[in-house]
Amino acid sequence: MNQPIADDDITALDATALSEAIHARRVSCREVMAAYLARIHRINPAFTAIVSLRPDDVLLAEADACDAELGRGQSRGWMHGMPQAIKDLAHARGLPTTLGSPLMTDFIATEDGLMTARMKAAGCIFIGKTNVPEFGLGSHTFNDVFGTTRNAYDRTRSAGGSSGGAAVALALRLLPVADGSDFMGSLRNPAAWNNIFGFRPSQGRVPMWPAQDVWVSQLATEGPMGRSVRDVARLLGTQAGASDNAPLSIATNTDTASADGHFDLKSQRIGWLGDLDGYLPMEDGILDACQRGLGRLERLGCPVAPARLGMPPARVWDAWLVWRRVLVASRIAPLFLQPGNRARIKPEAVWEYDQAEGCTANQFLAASVVRTQFHQSMLRLFGQHDFLALPTAQVWPFDAAERWPRTIAGRTMDTYHRWMEVVIYATFAGLPCISVPVGFNEAGLPMGMQLIGRPQDDAGVLRLAAAYEGAIADWLAVPPPMAHG
């Protein structure tokens, strides 16, 4: 073993560098686990990012087993011995899957989800779960089981969601890398609000199993989050790949797992969608922050030009509402079989369920036709641009005591998720999309920008993000106030 690495230095390493240090025997798996557990015990109580934490002695024993394997020249994979907490919407055998719901607090998973199994096969040790909003609904991570996850940069503000716990754990260096999932920006919004990277893969790239339905429920996807693009790419390579259980899944490309390779920024055309010609209300400073981010790319020689959606966004929203209501309602419907449960389910989830009750098959198919038209409209945009950009959020991180923003720039939000409308376009078209940091406002709150790629061009989006990452070192170097706590 070489010169020992201090605990804070261990947790400061990104996941790729940590993997290299573990395999070079510069740090033991026990030392890594001990460093992360010490940091979690010190910082997590003020933020509630990680929940259902397993006992220290059990985790240290598992780390010792990983060290013994390395001593015999055996490695499970690039994540060998690294601590990982899975999002509390996904199954990890032996751990609770509460979904943030009081109705689910006693449910213990008896099998690993597919993504969990793939990450375990790469060598990580699951230490617990990351906090989510109830049923993952709403981009604000609070529930009656564990409480509210606080923003890494301001504890009075929302962390975003539904991967809020994962994003805060990353920003505070409580995890080296993290998984998340994304339906309506659940990987992207919390990444933006905590100054990290969150990647929504192409539809079908990371198959989800077990699942109630494998044919229609394709708006949500699991995916990676990280403090660096190379970590995001590395974890995507572990999570991705076709599965027989998911018949609409797609095979990973050999270069999807890497953000490396030749990438000529000067030949890449970025279309800036902005606020969709004023359709999307935005709080002051958000468009300016994103344009500063685009300016960093322009200084690297990447051309940026205004772009237009090419289809009335109100039609897209109306079709989106039908899809979302049907898919959300079908997922939570079993919980409504017992009438007494209704009073114990968050009002927003009840609203989703009730909204879907009167939806007919014809209405759903009509919305699917609009979705098809929207997809074709996006393909036409990619005839003019290689990538599209727009803000990740329409508001800065809001007061954590609120349930959701009621107004934006003087315009009333007519649903609990209308304030997140900006994230639906990549989702509805099934396109790969990453949220990248664009700096901070005067109050020190972070913001992000979405970079959207062509169908199945996950590798291209990652390479663009990696090039951009090299131009924003000053923003990435800004630590949360308690990062050194």
Q: Which two tokens stand for residue 457?
A: 């061009």
What's the pLDDT score for residue 68?
A: 98
Domain formed by 7-476, architecture: Alpha-Beta Complex (3.90)
Token pair 């939570």 is found at 332
What's the pLDDT score for residue 56?
A: 98
What's the pLDDT score for residue 254?
A: 47
Q: Which two tokens stand for residue 316?
A: 């897209």
The whole-number average pLDDT for the span 286-306 is 98
- Nearest in space to 432 (alpha carbons), one of 211, 256, 294: 256
- Which uninterrupted H or E stretch holds 238? helix 229-239
Per DSSP, helices labelled H in 382-469 are 424-429, 458-469
Determine how β-strand 407-408 pairs with β-strand 387-391: unpaired
Contacts 24+ apart (CB under 8 A), 242-245: 242/207, 243/114, 243/207, 243/209, 245/114, 245/207, 245/209, 245/210, 245/214
CA dist 407 and 292 (Å) reads: 25
Weakest mean pLDDT among 261-270, 284-293, 403-412, 433-442: 261-270
User: What are the pLDDT digits (tens) for 305-314?
Assistant: 999 999 999 9
The whole-number average pLDDT for the span 231-236 is 98
User: What are the pLDDT digits (tens) for 424-475?
Assistant: 999 999 999 999 999 999 999 999 999 999 999 999 999 999 999 999 999 9
CA dist 166 and 177 (Å) reads: 9
Token pair 């998973």 is found at 109
Reported as half-sphere exposure (CB side, CA atoms, 13 A), residue 429 has a value of 25
What's the pLDDT score for residue 356?
A: 94
Measure the CA angle with vertex 214, ends 247 and 242; round to 5°: 35
The whole-number average pLDDT for the span 346-369 is 95
Residue 178 pLDDT > 60, yes or no?
yes
CA dist 337 and 340 (Å) reads: 9
Residue 13 pLDDT > 60, yes or no?
yes
